[in-house]
Amino acid sequence: MRDLLIVEQNSVIRYDDVSLSHLQETLEASRGLFWLDLEQITDEDAAFLSDFKELGAHPLSVKACREVSTRPYSAVFPGHLFMVMHAQVSLDAPPVKLGIFLAPDYLVTIHATPVPFLQDVKDRVQQDAQSMRSTDQAVALVIQKIADLQDPLVSELTAETTAPDRDVEAGWIYDAQRRLLDMIHLVKLQCEIVHSLYSGEKLSLQADTVVQLQDAYYRLRNMVEVLTRQWEMLNDAAMTVQTKALRSIDASSRRLTFLAALLLPVLVVSVLLGIDDPLINNVYKPAVLGIGLAVSLLVAIVLGLTARKR
C-alpha cells in the first residue's frame, strides 16, 4: 500500500493506495514537498526507491527496511538521512519497526504492518499544511507521537514489575527484569537516534523541529531512568530472595548434619560389636544412607549456587 501526501503552496494533496505508475507520474510533475508512506514494501517498491532520481535510496537501506530483525540505527547518505526506529505501541505486542528516509524535500516511511500513529500524523498534516512546512517537522511529529504512546506503557510496565510486599519467587523477579531490560534497550536506542538528529550537522532543521526533538529526547531519557531504577529495585529484591534461599539451604543442611551425627555413631557401634539387629539393618542403615546422600546433594547445590552467584 502506497500513501502519498504532497505539500504545495500551503495546501496538501493526498493520495491513498496510489499505483506505482501514478506515483511516479505525480512525483515527476510535483514541485513541492512530499511524504511517501509504504506498507508491506514489494520488489517493485524497492526498485522504485533505488532508481527514482529524486530518491536514490541506498540498496542496503531498502534491504534493512524489508528485514524482520534490524536493530535501531541511523546512517547518513548523500542527500538524505536514513533511520530505523522501533516503537512499542503495546506491552502485549512486539515493537513496530519503522524505516525512515529523510531529505530536505521528501520523507519516506516504510513499515510491514499498519501503524495507527502514522495515520494520525498524516491526518494532521492533511488538515494543516503548516505542520509540514519542512519534512523534518513531520519526522518530529512522528517521534513525538512515539513518545506519547510509550510514556503510559512505561508507567504500566513499572507498575506491573513492582515487587509486592509479600515474598515473591525468583522466577517472577527474573521475568520482570527481562521485560524491563527489553524496554530499556528499546527506549535507550530511540534516545540516541533522536539526540543525533538535532545535535549533529546532518540536516538543516527548523527551529520548531529542534525544540520538538529536544522535548522528545528528554521524555525518552526520563523513561530510561525510570525503567533503570525499577530494574535496580528488582535486582535488590533478587539478592534478598537469593540470600533467603541460601539461608534456608544452610539451615536444612545443618539439621541433616545433626541427624547424621546422631545416627552414624549407632551404625559404627553396631558394626564394631557385630550386632545383627533387624531394627538397625532395616531402619538405621537405610536412614543413614539417605541422610548421607541428602547431605551430599545439598552440598552440591550450595556449591553450584555459590559458583553461579560469583
pLDDT tens, residue by residue, 77-136: 888 889 999 998 889 888 999 999 998 889 999 998 889 899 999 999 999 888 888 899
Task: Say if residue 213 is in the same domain as residue 258.
Answer: no
Which of 218, 238, 258 is the C-terminal boundary of a domain?
238
How many whole angstroms from its chain centre is CA 250? 39
Task: Say if residue 158 is in the same domain as residue 60.
Answer: yes
Task: Say if residue 32 is in the same domain as residue 143.
Answer: yes
HSE-CB for 95 with a 13 A CA cutoff: 24
Please report the sign of the dihedral spanned by the C-alpha atoms of residue 101, residue 87, residue 15, residue 7.
negative
Task: Say if residue 218 is in the same domain as residue 267.
Answer: no
pLDDT at 1: 85
Task: Say if residue 65 is in the same domain as residue 151.
Answer: yes
Mean pLDDT of 135-142: 92
Lowest mean pLDDT among 96-100, 128-132, 165-169, 290-294: 290-294
pLDDT at 143: 94
Neighbouring-strand partners of residue 101: 82, 108
pLDDT band at 264 (very low <50, low <70, confident <90, very high): low
Query: Is 215 a residue whose pLDDT tops 90?
Result: yes
Mean pLDDT of 35-62: 87
Task: Say if residue 174 is in the same domain as residue 303.
Answer: no
How far is CA 123 from each of CA 4, 107, 204, 294, rounded to the nearest angstrom? 12, 16, 25, 69
The amino acid that residue 185 corresponds to is: H
Which of 184, 218, 238 is the C-terminal boundary of a domain?
238
Task: Say if residue 195 is in the same domain as residue 62.
Answer: yes
As a whole-number percent, the residues of the chain with pLDDT over 70 amount to 74
Q: What is the Cα–Cα distance from 279 to 115, expressed in whole angstroms?
A: 76
Lowest mean pLDDT among 167-171, 205-209, 217-221: 167-171
Task: Say if residue 56 is in the same domain as residue 93.
Answer: yes
Residue at 243 is within a domain? no
pLDDT at 303: 56
Lowest mean pLDDT among 114-118, 122-126, 234-238, 279-283: 279-283
Query: Is 37 a residue whose pLDDT tops 50?
Result: yes
How far is CA 289 from each of CA 277, 282, 294, 296, rounded to the nearest angstrom? 17, 11, 9, 11
Which of 210, 238, 266 is the C-terminal boundary of a domain?
238
Residue at 149 is within a domain? yes
Q: What's the grid cell of residue 73?
A: 540505527
Lowest mean pLDDT among 48-62, 111-125, 172-186: 48-62
Q: What is the Cα–Cα distance from 290 to 209, expressed in whole angstroms?
A: 73
How many whole angstroms from its chain centre is CA 198? 23
pLDDT at 310: 46
Mean of per-residue pLDDT scores for the chain: 81
HSE-CB for 118 with a 13 A CA cutoff: 24
Lowest mean pLDDT among 125-129, 135-139, 197-201, 299-303: 299-303
CATH of the domain at 119: 3.30.460.20
pLDDT at 249: 62
Task: Say if residue 98 is in the same domain as residue 22.
Answer: yes
Q: What is the Cα–Cα distance from 219 to 212, expressed in whole angstroms?
A: 11
Task: Say if residue 227 is in the same domain as residue 274.
Answer: no
Domain count, the chain: 2
Helix/strand/coil (H/E/C) assignment for every residue in the chain: CEEEEEEECCEEEEECCCCHHHHHHHHHHCCCEEEEEEECCCHHHHHHHHHCCCCCCCHHHHHHHHCCCCCCEEEEECCEEEEEEEECCCCCCCCEEEEEEEECCEEEEEECCCCHHHHHHHHHHHHCHHHHCCHHHHHHHHHHHHHHHHHHHHHHHHHHCCCCCCCCCHHHHHHHHHHHHHHHHHHHHHHHHHHHHHHCCCCCCCHHHHHHHHHHHHHHHHHHHHHHHHHHHHHHHHHHHHHHHHHHHHHHHHHHHHHHHHHHHHHHHHHHHCCCCHHHHHHHHHHHHHHHHHHHHHHHHHHHHHHHHC
pLDDT at 207: 84
Query: Is 273 a residue whose pLDDT tops 80?
Result: no
pLDDT band at 75 (very low <50, low <70, confident <90, very high): confident
Residue at 244 is within a domain? no
As a whole-number percent, the residues of the chain with pLDDT over 90 amount to 30
The range of the structural domain enclosing residue 195 comes to 2-238
Name every residue whose Cβ is closer than 8 Å to that of residue 188 and which is 6 or more positions away in sequence: 224
Q: Which of 144, 148, 220 is nearest to 184 (CA)?
A: 220
Place of cell 503510559: 152
pTM (2 d.p.) = 0.75
